[in-house]
Amino acid sequence: MWNPRIWRANCSLSLRSEGETMQKSECSGGTQLKSRVTGNDDQRTSSGTQIKHRNAVQRSKSSLSTSSLDSARKLHPRPSDKLNPKTINPFGEQSRAPSAFAAIYSKGGIPCRLVHGSVKHRLQWECPPESLSFDPLLITLAEGLRETKHPYTFVSKEGFRELLLVKGAPEKAVPLLPRLIPVLKAALVHSDDEVFERGLNALVQLSVVVGPSLNDHLKHLLTSLSKRLMDKKFKEPITSALQKLEQRGGSGSLSIIKSKIPTYCSICC
């Protein structure tokens, strides 16, 4: 027998079960959808990370290749780099103009060349030194005493010495003293010790040749010598040089030396 109450109860139970089934399917679908979205996000994140890593590697490779190329250019510069203003170092040695002596020597203005020997070097003159005019060759060689690079140091020092040894050197050198003394003074006040030593030796060599004619110019050189006397390593060579100046300059040189260097002891004492 059909009972309406039982029928309504069964209908409500079936509707409730269908609703729960639909909710479960919706939840499972949402979960699957969320997992898909999350998976896509993870894939995008991992792919983005890989792209970033790949770009970083490429940048590091390019920077390494650029730095290695720059270092290779520095070690082996191209000839065209000399013409490119961007590759020129304004403070580098290549941009510095050569000294007057170096320029004259490079152009053949000094009639001698350096001959390298197994034991020591020597100069080879293009013509006999006694046939050469001292003006301006002797002054140019004196200017070269301030050089600090080879071969200019040797050429200037040895050329000055050999030129003063030729026959007739006194007659040629004395008229040049007013122009030679400032050049020798520049070497004596130089901060480089080797330049000072070359200047001191050149002064002694000149005094041997010109004798008392140097006395009128001696006072211009003694101030720098008195300052260097404070240095112990130069005390002996300067004292020896002063004694030779006194010996070659005669009695008139002693009073000049004593006026600038009162502690000097004469060789006659």
Predicted confidence (pLDDT) at residue 150 exceeds the cutoff of 80? yes
pLDDT for the residue 86: 47
Split at pLDDT 50, 70, 90, the class of 120 is confident
Predicted confidence (pLDDT) at residue 10 exceeds the cutoff of 90? no
pLDDT for the residue 162: 97
Q: Which residues contact 101 (CB under 8 A, 6 or more apart)?
A: 140, 143, 144, 146, 147, 152, 156
Split at pLDDT 50, 70, 90, the class of 67 is low
pLDDT for the residue 266: 87
Choice between 47 and 181, residue whose per-residue pLDDT is larger: 181
- Mean pLDDT over the full length of the chain: 79
Alpha-carbon span 146 to 112, nearest angstrom: 19
Mean pLDDT along residues 161-168: 96
State pLDDT tens for residues 81-114. Answer: 444 444 445 555 444 567 889 999 999 999 999 9
Query: Of 42-51, 193-202, 255-264, which gets the smallest average pLDDT?
Result: 42-51
Predicted confidence (pLDDT) at residue 42 exceeds the cutoff of 90? no
pLDDT for the residue 214: 96
Name the CA radius of gyration of the chain, rounded.
46
Query: If you count DSSP H runs as helices and E runs as strands, how many of each does the chain have, helices first?
Result: 10, 2
pLDDT for the residue 2: 53
User: pTM of the entire structure?
Assistant: 0.65
Predicted confidence (pLDDT) at residue 46 exceeds the cutoff of 60? no
96-129 burial, b if ≥16 CB within 10 A, otherwise e? eeebebbebbeeeebebebeeeeeeeebebeeeb
Predicted confidence (pLDDT) at residue 121 exceeds the cutoff of 60? yes
State pLDDT tens for residues 178-237. Answer: 999 999 999 999 999 999 999 999 999 999 999 999 999 999 999 999 999 989 999 999
Alpha-carbon span 60 to 15, nearest angstrom: 67
pLDDT for the residue 85: 42
